[in-house]
Structure 1
Amino acid sequence: MKKRITLIVAALTLLGSTGAHAQEVQQFSLQQSIDYALQNRASLQADRNNEKSAKARVGEIRAMGLPQIDAIVDVGDNFIQQQSFLPGEFLNDPDDPNSPQPGTFVPITFTPAYTSNATITGSQLLFDGSYLIGLKAAKTYTELSRKTTIQSEIEVADQVSKAYYGVLVNRERMELLNQNLVRLDTLLKQTRIMFDNGVAEQLDVDRLRVSFNNLKVEQQKAERLMLLSENLLKFQMGLPQKQTIVLTDKLSDVEVETATTTSENFNYSNRIEYSLLETQQSLAQLDLRNIRSGYLPKLYLNARYGYNAASNSFSDITTTSSYLEYGYVGAQLRIPIFDGLRKHYQIQQSKVTVENTKYGFETLRQSIDLELKQASTELTNSLDVLKAQQENLALAQDIARVAKIKFQEGVGSNLEVITAETDLRQAQTNYYAAVYDALIAKVNLEKAKGTLISK
């Protein structure tokens, strides 16, 4: 009895543990998949951390223009006191023959054994052209970091969209394979009955069995491919591989239309690459201004306030009465005069960088124009192929249907049925390959137009 109770408790515990660890099935549309990936993809999280770092960089540069205050406390033991030489004339006593003689030098100790110093120093930047330009450059760098994140988000949306469409196509193909398998299994059973009744031959049964076995293997391969495509989608979304997902979009609901894009109605700024180049150009121009500002003077306000003490007895510098107060306030003006033409050559290099960004715009515009034409042509061709494959599929379905009827009525051959079924499966494969190509072309065109995600 005790053993039975133990087994029951163990079973209940196991069931509870299994339920606790069971993951809830999540449903995703294409847009929900993209949104989830934009929030949870690890690479995007790293890019957003870089944005935070860029914002902190702005604060770091701004801090350079705020007052800089330091407190210093210095206590030292001059265990070997430094000595200086004084001419003997300073210490010569005419009445003392043992005093230092003129023309000699006498070592004298001026440094006390113990020293102490407590100081508060402060400085304030009053004018520095590089500082003002640095603030602008830091803000522009923050903008560049944000645009880099957007570029990564577009890449993620592109990858998720293609992976999502891959799952949809494989799902439809799996359903069709299952239908084919059921139809062929039914035909095989009917042919066996016909063989038992002397209407069909053993060769007819064997041919159908071979075709059935081949289709069964193809179904198993499609199931593995389906699982692999789902895992790829989970990876692109940033989902755990063990998470079970259900796609709510249907392949029949996806609209793919031919779209023409010309340079007259296309705004290059829609492309994040163009916007990134604009920001890089601004940074290059700010760098040039920053180097030129090095010729301007710099003005600082400095101040010091503190106490110091010195004695040959350490106890003397531990009492406040031994300390002497001092203070200083003043301005410092630094005027650059000659740096060996260093800034001159830096300016020449920076001018080349600015000029190269102008050439970069022309190259990028040409590249975008070509990409638009390629994507539009790719989509047009894909839709033409899809239309042809759709017609071929309809014809193959009709041929397979007629061949089956003819065979069942005894006016057609079994070989004709198998050939029609093989052609039908090939037509289905070609059709879904054309569907996938059209969907990929659609994503590529949206990416080329800069409309894949809203920025």
Structure 2
Amino acid sequence: MKLNKADEVYAIAVDIMPQIKKANYTLESSEIDVNIAKSNYYPSLSLSAQWGASANWLMEDPNGFNRSLGDQINSTKNTYIGASLNIPIFNKLQTRTNVKNARISVLDAKFSLQQEKLALRKEIQQAYADALAAYNKYLSSYEAVMSYKESFRYTEQKFSVGLVNSVDFNVAKTDFTRAQSDLLQSKYEYILRNKILDFYKGIPIVL
């Protein structure tokens, strides 16, 4: 069972964890807001166009005949095209304030992103420490099983020739069984702790 290294896990997690992505998107958005605020320093040109016409089903021509809709539209249509140029002269102070506020938002977003990264690193380091402790517990439990297994084997041999009574035999057997149980428990605890590290790598937890 290979133990995931904390730095390796963090290098992957920092690119895929949703809280980091959200903080990055917020930072990108705030940087765009700075450019939008700066755009108010420059003149702006706007264009507009309009087209209209009117028609009436019952409209008659001078001879008393109903005029066709097409004829009415052609005779009443009108178009309009206009342009306006806005040169910012009096709002520079407001624009400067808006740009400054937008830049402050960028700094806030950068700080939030850094805080999220630090929190993620702390979580992973704690998860790694827990997994390492579980791994060491598994190793010590394995050594204990080997020791109790050998002890029980000797006790069993002595019991078979009458050198050990049934009480000592049962004690040795119980100790061996308990050590096996502790080993199994420590094994699954280590697997779970390692799966938590897998989660930070984007690997679904499947037991």
Give TM class, smaller chain. Answer: 0.7 to 0.9
1:231 partnered with 2:186: no
Deviations 1:325-357 (A, max 9, x none): xxxxxxxxxxxxxxxxxxxxxxxxxxxxxxxxx
1:404-435 per-residue CA deviation (whole Å, 9 max, x = no partner) reads xxxxxxxxxxxxxxxxxxxxxxxxxxxxxxxx
Of the candidates 177, 180, 187, which is equivalent to residue 213 of structure 1?
177
2:94 is the alignment partner of 1:118: no
Verify: 1:52 aligned to 2:28, yes or no: yes
In the superposition, the TM-score normalised over structure 1's length comes to 0.39
| Equivalent residue number for residue 202 of structure 1 | 166
Q: Which residue of 2 aligns with 1:76?
A: 52
Q: Which residue of 1 aligns with 2:94?
A: 130
Contact 2:159 2:165 in 1 (8 A): yes
Q: Is the partner of 1:64 in helix, strand or coil?
A: helix
Q: What is the CA–CA distance in structure 1 between the aligned matches of 2:192 and 2:39, rounded to whole Å? A: 52
Does 1:67 find its partner at 2:43? yes
- Secondary structure of 1:119's aligned partner: strand
8 Å CA contact 1:42–1:238 kept in 2: the answer is: no
Quote the residue 2:155 is aligned against: 191
User: Take 2:11 and 2:154, find their aligned partners in 1: how far apart are those partners?
Assistant: 51
Amino acid at match of 2:104: T
For the 8 Å contact 2:3–2:194, the answer to whether it is kept is no
Shift of the 26–170 alpha-carbon distance from structure 1 to 2, 3 Å rule, reads: closer
| Counterpart contact for 1:163–1:232, Cα < 8 Å | yes
Where does the alignment leave 5 or more consecutive residues of structure 2 unmatched?
57-74
Q: Give the whole-Å Cα distance in 2 for the aligned partners of 1:116 and 1:179.
A: 93
**Higher gyration radius (CA):** 1
> Post-superposition shift, 1:190?
0.4
TM-fit CA distance, 1:62: 1.7
Which of 122, 125, 139 is 1:158 aligned to?
A: 122
Give the distance between the partners of 1:47 and 1:170, measured in 2 at CA: 33
Whose RCO is larger (CA < 8 A, sep 6+)?
2
| Map of 1:43 onto structure 2 | 19
Aligned equivalent of 2:60 = none
> Could you tell me how far apart the structure 2 residues matched to 1:211 and 1:117 are?
98
- Are residue 180 (structure 1) and residue 144 (structure 2) matched? yes
- Cα distance in structure 2, aligned partners of 1:122 and 1:195: 106
Q: Deviations over 1:364-384 (max 9, x none)?
A: xxxxxxxxxxxxxxxxxxxxx
Identity of aligned residues (%): 11
SS in 2 for 1:127: coil
Deviation at 1:209, TM superposition (A): 1.6
Name the TM-score, length of structure 2 as normaliser.
0.81
Equivalent residue letter for 1:115 = N
CA contact under 8 A between 2:4 and 2:194: conserved in structure 1? no
Kept in 2: contact 1:65–1:131 (CA 8 A):
yes
| Secondary structure of the structure 1 residue equivalent to 2:89 | strand
Residue by residue over 1:149-189, the C-alpha shift from the partner in whole angstroms, topping out at 9 and shown as x without a partner, is: 00101100110111111111111110000000010011111
Cα gap change, 1:170 to 1:33, in 2 (>3 Å): same
Aligned equivalents of 1:76, 1:26: Cα separation in 2: 75
CA RMSD of aligned residues (A): 2.3
* Contact 1:166 1:229 (8 Å CA) reproduced: yes
CA distance in 2, matches of 1:232, 1:193: 44
Contact 2:3 2:132 in 1 (8 A): no
- Structure 1 residue ranges without an equivalent (≥5): 1-24, 81-111, 244-455
Of Structure 1 and Structure 2, the greater strand share is in: 1
Partner amino acid for 2:87? Q
Q: How does 1:46-445 map to 2 (within 5 A)?
A: 46-79=22-55, 113-128=76-91, 129-235=93-199, 237-241=200-204
The match for 1:34 is 10
Q: In the alignment, is the contact (CA less than 8 A) between 1:44 and 1:153 conserved in 2?
A: yes
Q: Distance in 2 between matches of 1:114 and 1:241?
A: 66
